[in-house]
């Protein structure tokens, strides 16, 4: 009788270095725009950022920060808006941030066209 050896699980060591495993997981699913921006920043140095973002786009994640981008209702949004009516300067900033989010998605190779991933307006 031969014994099969289980493969070495290197993902355990890798998971210890992922920001979403080190910090409070609720940070990535917060309602606070400030918390979500912090989560996006923490994702910046993650070794699995591109894969995480690609998976979230493929699954159309309903909400949260995935791969350094904020998802809401299955779409990438440039920033989480607080409750209430947006100010005029916020609308202009949102338009600029949407262009920036599209550029980041294109640069990461996840989506090459607007039809490949839906961006929320």
In a domain, 54, yes or no: yes
In a domain, 63, yes or no: yes
pLDDT at 86 over 90: no
Question: What pLDDT sits at residue 118?
Answer: 52
Residue 49 has a CB neighbour count (10 Å cut-off) of 19
20 marked as binding residue: yes
Question: What's the average model confidence in pLDDT over 90-101?
Answer: 77
In a domain, 12, yes or no: no
Question: What's the average model confidence in pLDDT over 73-83?
Answer: 78
Token pair for residue 88?
């005029």
In a domain, 5, yes or no: no
In a domain, 9, yes or no: no
What is the rounded distance in angstroms from the CA atom of residue 97 to the CA atom of residue 78?
A: 5
User: In which domain, by residue range, is 102 found?
Assistant: 17-116
46 marked as binding residue: yes
84 marked as binding residue: no
pTM, entire model = 0.59
In a domain, 47, yes or no: yes
Phi, psi of 32 (to 5 degrees): -80, 125
52 marked as binding residue: yes
Instruction: For residue range 63-73, list pLDDT tens digits in order.
Output: 999 999 999 88
pLDDT at 113 over 60: no
Instruction: For residue range 21-52, list pLDDT tens digits in order.
Output: 888 989 999 988 889 999 999 998 888 999 99
In a domain, 2, yes or no: no
Question: What's the average model confidence in pLDDT over 83-95?
Answer: 73
């Amino acid at each position: 009788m031969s014994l099969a050896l289980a493969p070495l699980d290197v993902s355990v060591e890798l998971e210890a270095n992922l920001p979403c495993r080190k910090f409070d997981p609720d940070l990535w699913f917060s309602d606070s725009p400030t918390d979500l921006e912090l989560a996006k920043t923490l994702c910046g140095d993650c070794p699995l950022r591109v894969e995480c973002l690609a998976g979230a786009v493929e699954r159309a994640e309903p909400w949260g920060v995935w791969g350094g981008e904020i998802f809401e209702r299955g779409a990438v949004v440039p920033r989480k808006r607080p409750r209430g009516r947006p100010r005029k300067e916020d609308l202009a900033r949102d338009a600029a941030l949407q262009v920036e989010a599209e550029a980041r998605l294109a640069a990461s190779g996840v989506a090459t066209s607007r039809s490949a991933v839906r961006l929320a307006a």
